[in-house]
Amino acid sequence: MPRASTVPAPLLVLGGIVSVQFGATLAALLIPRIGAGGSVLLRLLFAAAVMLVVARPTLRGHSRAAVRTVLTFGLILGAMNFFFYSSLAHLPIGVAVTVEFIGPLTLAAVLSRRPRDAIAVLCAGAGVVLVSRAFEVPFAELEWRGLGLGLLTGACWAAYIVFSRRTGAAFPQLQGLAIALCVASLVVLPLGAGSAPEWDRTVLLEGLGIAVLSSVLPYSLELVALRTLAAKVFGILLSLEPAVAALAGFLVLRQSLSTLQLVGMALVVLASAIVLGVSARQDPAEATGS
């Protein structure tokens, strides 16, 4: 993705976030038909196939450390996707999104060294809770299994940020991502293969759309962005995702936005402005985390 490397990293992250929202609309239709395992497997298989054609990856000439990195990245991708799709079967999507954001926000907090970073993390966390409306769900209606799956998704998401950066540094262009998607497909194969008899033409087309919108585009854009963007900045920028989802629902589906959701979106934007302002004043070595 040579041209993408000339685009500012925050814009790449935003592009990935927008793409994921369109993919999520297709996934919401597919999961009830072939299950979480089948949906994840179909998505990853198509994504891997597309990336193999585009990137033409090879393991030749890479160190054992690089190979271990990309294999670990693939394991994380597979687990992250499966845990999140599974959590949706037990939790409202707003709650699931909020719980999983504990991962990247915790990573951002751990990597923070300045008071402004801590303020950004708090603003982003509060904004995510307000936008997702997670607080409106009675505690008695929450399923502990779903909460556990959401927390596992968050942990995988934090690990994804770290290993996406390492994979991008170890492999040229998008070769590492292509290899990782193949590994991720193998990881979820036993969990989703049982749904294969239900993969008719419509399911396959939806799976292809989800693969491109939810995997190929966002993962590619994020991998390129993480070559130059600090992990803590990336973790906080991801909090824009529920805000973008709420805005898309308002513009496309005519879903109303409450006053608290608007406040939450403002907090998320404020957090992003804080980290972007801080990162703009950092030297290159600090900005890349090197």
State the pLDDT at residue 190. 94
State the pLDDT at residue 184. 96
In a domain, 3, yes or no: no
Q: Torsion angle, CA of 226/232/233/237, rounded to 10 degrees?
A: 90
Q: Torsion angle, CA of 153/157/160/165, rounded to 10 degrees?
A: 180
Kindly report, residue by residue over 139-163, the tens digit of the pLDDT: 666 677 888 898 899 899 899 989 9
Q: How many domains does the chain have?
A: 1
In a domain, 2, yes or no: no
Question: Is pLDDT of 173 > 60?
Answer: yes
State the pLDDT at residue 122. 83
Domain extent, residue 46, equals 9-287
In a domain, 139, yes or no: yes
State the pLDDT at residue 107. 82
Q: What is the percent of the chain with per-residue pLDDT over 90, rounded to a whole number?
A: 34
Kindly report, residue by residue over 229-243, the tens digit of the pLDDT: 877 778 777 777 767
In which band, very low, low, confident or very high, does the pLDDT at 89 lie, cut at 50, 70 and 90?
confident
In a domain, 89, yes or no: yes
